[in-house]
Structure 1
Amino acid sequence: MNEDRGKVCSGLTHECGVFSAIGNEHWTNSSEIAQIILIGLQALQHRGQESTGIVTSEGHNEFNVHKGMGLVKNVFTEDSITHLRGVMGIGHTRYSTSAKSTQVNCQPFVVHSMHGSLAVAHNGELVNASSLRKQVLDRGVGLSTHSDSELITQALCLIPPEGEVNGPDWPARIRHLMQLAPLSYSLVIMLKDKIYAVRDPYGNRPLCLGKILSEHQEVGNGDLNTKRVPDGWVVSSESCAFLKITRYEREIYPGEILELTRNGPRTIDIVPTPEGKNLAFCIFEYVYFARPTSIFEGQEVYSVRVHCGRQLALEHPVEADIVGSVPESGNAAANGYSLESNIPQGELLAKNTYIGRTFIQPSNRLRQMNVALKFTPILTNVKNKRIILIDDSIVRGNTIGPIIKLLRKAGAREVHIRVASPPLKFPCYMGINIPTREELIANTKDFEDIAMKVGADSLQYLSVAGLVKAVQKDLIGKKQIVGHCTACLTGEYPGGLPDEIDW
């Protein structure tokens, strides 16, 4: 859904988050489903802050829609939620790109076709969007945006597979789309009476299933033990959105088409990864994007980040008095580094939680003022200390430099930077906004030059092999089939380059 590759950002930004919910056969039309989706979107707010939307269905072809620019809490009011009645719905939150973005790009997208209404929410980016766009335009359909999410919506309606006789075969249409565009996407697709959850055959973007737990309890066969039964089902980009009333069930499998009706979920099909290709779950979900409490491939993100810190300590030890992190992204890796190195861990910087998102500043002085506004050194842990500062990634190097200067000013004797991921060297074409190769600091300088530029005594990154080892450490014993995309680190793209890119 990336309509402007040339945009400038301060670091990494994610495409978006998707969430859907459906009640069981006892559910009545009300705004409760919309409220559950609202809670889910708030939990996914870290995946996108630009715009958000919810679409609900009361069982007929006229959907209830509310979308807008801004944060979830600002777009939805008590009145707007009241009007979102239904027994099922889908929601979306989109990340900030540039000032050009407008409400026309807000998701979910809704189209009214001869087969009824269709709503789609999408996380990811189609690597062959240009060729698919041509196919849709050749059918005489005008597109209102440059978003490949709208393209997916139109393609489902306009490119029917052979064999349809008595109306649309939506699973066949979805399979056809997956053959035309094998990556990258996680989708929730809503018709008037059902929802499809779809994950691309590479498993590049995350998607998982959860149960809405009933407030009523059942007693079975005279047994005094009670259990809570499913009152509905939810699908989310991350399991961190499954709060007290919802229980994590499992991930949507790579290539799976999961149908959810009021009778529950069922797998319609699992489209295999293209021949000769491997699974390619985005490894940076573990490193950077996901909440530490989310579960991918059966393991909690926090534990993987601790493994990354341990591996980093093995690869790049250094004598120091204290290990700390850039709050809060490096906390888990700092814990792992401390455990492996036996160097005490402590807080180096207090973060002002009331400071909102800041924009790229036109001068170093203003950037440094922003850092000073966000962070205050904890003198007890900084003054006269040899410090190991853990960060999860360094993109341009614009932020870490002012932080080091802040620590030096507070009396740090030495500052050693250890990065709990490999250097970013390549752009992503599958749903993550990574700056151009020329903007990535790892492509313009070697590690010693980077250390000098940011003012560190030393700077080292986790190796690619070390990251893969940390991510797969707890998966090997489970004999789980795994495969991870490292394209932004290695330049090896799982599905090849987009059709409009020629290096």
Structure 2
Amino acid sequence: MCGIFGVIQAAGAASTSTLAISAINGLTALQHRGTESTGLVGSDGVDRNHVEILKGHGLVRDVFNDGNVAKFQNSKVLIGHNRYSTAGKKAAINCVQPFVVYTAVGIVAIAHNGELVDAKKKREEALHHGVGLSTDVDSELIAQMIAKAIALNHKCRRDDELGDISKELAVTMSAINMSYSLIVLTFDRIYAIRDPFGNRPLCVGTVYDSTGVATSYCASSESCALPSNAKLDFEVRPGEIVELSRDGIRSVCQMKPQSPLAMCIFEYVYFARNDSVIEGQQVQTVREECGRTMAEEDVIEADLVANVPDSSMSAAIGYASQSGIPYEPCLHRNSYVGRSFIQPNDEMRQSSINQKFGVLQKKVEGKRIILVDDSIVRGNTMRIIVRMLKEAGAAQVHLRIASPPVRFPCFMGINIPTRGELLAANKSIEEIREFVGADSVKYLSVDGLQKAVQKGIERNTTFDVGHCTACLTGDYPTQLEF
């Protein structure tokens, strides 16, 4: 679920002084995708053997400041990364991305969103071929595979092609499975890459000045991170390699997409920001449609519809609109506490929940409440919230979840853990109701979720789509290797 961002100065643009700020602003806009650590790598576009690097644990605002950002004042090409760890402990600083490797054609840096399902096998192959690895992070493994491909091909490369590694990237893509979206930096260009399943989102855009002249080109996990004066050019297709150079944006390779495609459906449920465009449609409209579809599947009497802030607000509004029951916010969210789901361990998640929410007591006293949330994974958050509402005087709390039960772990980069930790994998709906203390619990059906997602795609997208529902159905898009 990590956030990745890249920006390169357009040919003829007057100044690079604000380019690093654009990169940092992009990472800030992607903060919801990872809060554990952040990093930035920048090249001056000339020296192939030197980059500026700044990495640290914590939020973007904690790692970058006016003093240390000055080191990027001459950078014309930058990529950054916000880390969301699928491991249960804080990663060492050498695991913080972007990864930087020295290759036969100069420095290459990589920012990776996803998790390789065949990482163990590929790691063993690399070690047996004499490749030294300093971490157990599969992003480093990808970087080393790219370096190996470059080494096998560099002798036939002209000096003016040193930054062009599109062929080597295609070779690497053909050797690894899912899941990955990548932004790769060479000294004078950026590549944006999606795996052939299209499992993680990725888009590219152009930034314009007030006269309509292009000043830079960007690649990002989500369109919400593009600057306000940018145009979303297109979403990277599954299996596509897109090159961003100072001369513009162009597709340089299109591998055959997998069939069926497997875009992570949880991007719509929880991860992506409301204002992002994915598969040609705004995420908020999908979430509202999930709420409307859930109301169509459900009949219950209540006084108001509320939601667990923030990502479920759209679903609650959709539910209220379809059901005719008024929407009223009943919970206040402390904006200074991060998303509990992406905390790396259970103790931190519990602490985050206790700090995060407050009840608007006058709204809930004596009321029958339909409480909408986007998902339940472990159940920690919901159990506490239901108790808080009832202690504040709510007569009834009916829980409505705008996605199907999460019953299976994810092996493609999302911290949906083993089945032993998943509430819906081990309890019936009635047992879940008892566990969280609600008066009733109902989930959106798998068909309902797919219908809500597909509704806008049919109108907007220009390429085929398909979605991974493995955490909901156990139907994994590829063979898993352990």
Aligned residues: 469
Q: Does 1:56 align with 2:42?
A: yes
Runs of 4+ aligned residues of structure 1 deviating over 4 Å after TM superposition are 160-165, 355-363, 369-373
Instruction: Identify which of 462, 477, 480 aligns with 1:494.
Output: 477
3-state DSSP class of the match of 2:5?
strand
Q: What does residue range 126-137 of structure 1 map to in structure 2 within 5 Å?
A: 126-137=116-127
The CA distance in 2 between the partners of 1:373 and 1:145, in whole Å, is 34
**Which amino acid is the alignment partner of residue 248 of structure 1?**
L
Q: Does 1:78 align with 2:61?
A: no
Which runs of 5 or more structure 2 residues have no equivalent in the other structure?
Answer: none
1:202–1:273 CA contact under 8 A, matched in 2: yes
**Shift in alpha-carbon separation, 1:202–1:371, aligned structure 2, 3 A:** closer
The CA distance in 2 between the partners of 1:70 and 1:337, in whole Å, is 36
Residue of structure 2 equivalent to 1:65: 53
RMSD between aligned residues: 2.1
Residue of structure 1 equivalent to 2:321: 339
Q: Does 1:484 align with 2:467?
A: yes
Residue of structure 1 equivalent to 2:137: 147
TM normalised by structure 2 equals 0.93
2:36–2:90 CA contact under 8 A, matched in 1: no
How much does 1:28 deviate? 5.8
3-state DSSP class of the match of 2:405?
coil
Instruction: Identify which of 398, 407, 412 aligns with 2:394.
Output: 412
The one-character-per-residue Cα deviations of 1:223-269 (angstroms, maximum 9, x if unpaired) are xxxxx121110000001112323222211111111111111111111
State, as a whole percentage, how many aligned pairs show the same letter: 46
The one-character-per-residue Cα deviations of 1:365-386 (angstroms, maximum 9, x if unpaired) are x95x865643232233211111
**Which amino acid is the alignment partner of residue 473 of structure 2?**
T
Q: Does 1:473 align with 2:481?
A: no
The one-character-per-residue Cα deviations of 1:249-302 (angstroms, maximum 9, x if unpaired) are 21111111111111111111111124xx31111000000001000000110000
Query: After the TM superposition, which of the residue ranges 291-300 and 30-39 deviates more from structure 2?
Result: 30-39
Q: Does 1:251 align with 2:235?
A: yes
The CA distance in 2 between the partners of 1:75 and 1:98, in whole Å, is 22
How much does 1:322 deviate? 0.3
**Shift in alpha-carbon separation, 1:357–1:487, aligned structure 2, 3 A:** closer
The CA distance in 1 between the partners of 2:321 and 2:80, in whole Å, is 40
How much does 1:170 deviate? 1.8
1:322–1:381 CA contact under 8 A, matched in 2: no
How much does 1:165 deviate? 4.9
The one-character-per-residue Cα deviations of 1:163-186 (angstroms, maximum 9, x if unpaired) are 765237722211111111131111
**Shift in alpha-carbon separation, 1:362–1:28, aligned structure 2, 3 A:** closer
TM normalised by structure 1 equals 0.89
2:274–2:282 CA contact under 8 A, matched in 1: yes
Residue of structure 1 equivalent to 2:254: 270
Residue of structure 1 equivalent to 2:24: 38
How much does 1:329 deviate? 2.0
Query: After the TM superposition, which of the residue ranges 162-171 and 242-251 deviates more from structure 2?
Result: 162-171
2:32–2:339 CA contact under 8 A, matched in 1: no
**Shift in alpha-carbon separation, 1:495–1:293, aligned structure 2, 3 A:** same
3-state DSSP class of the match of 1:211?
strand
Q: Does 1:117 align with 2:99?
A: no
Which runs of 5 or more structure 1 residues have no equivalent in the other structure?
Answer: 1-13, 218-227
Residue of structure 2 equivalent to 1:295: 277
1:54–1:108 CA contact under 8 A, matched in 2: yes
The CA distance in 2 between the partners of 1:370 and 1:283, in whole Å, is 25
Q: Does 1:200 align with 2:186?
A: no
**Which amino acid is the alignment partner of residue 179 of structure 1?**
S
The CA distance in 1 between the partners of 2:59 and 2:111, in whole Å, is 17
3-state DSSP class of the match of 2:456?
coil
Q: What does residue range 386-425 of structure 1 map to in structure 2 within 5 Å?
A: 386-425=368-407
Greater helix percent: which structure? 2
How much does 1:113 deviate? 1.6
Residue of structure 2 equivalent to 1:166: 156
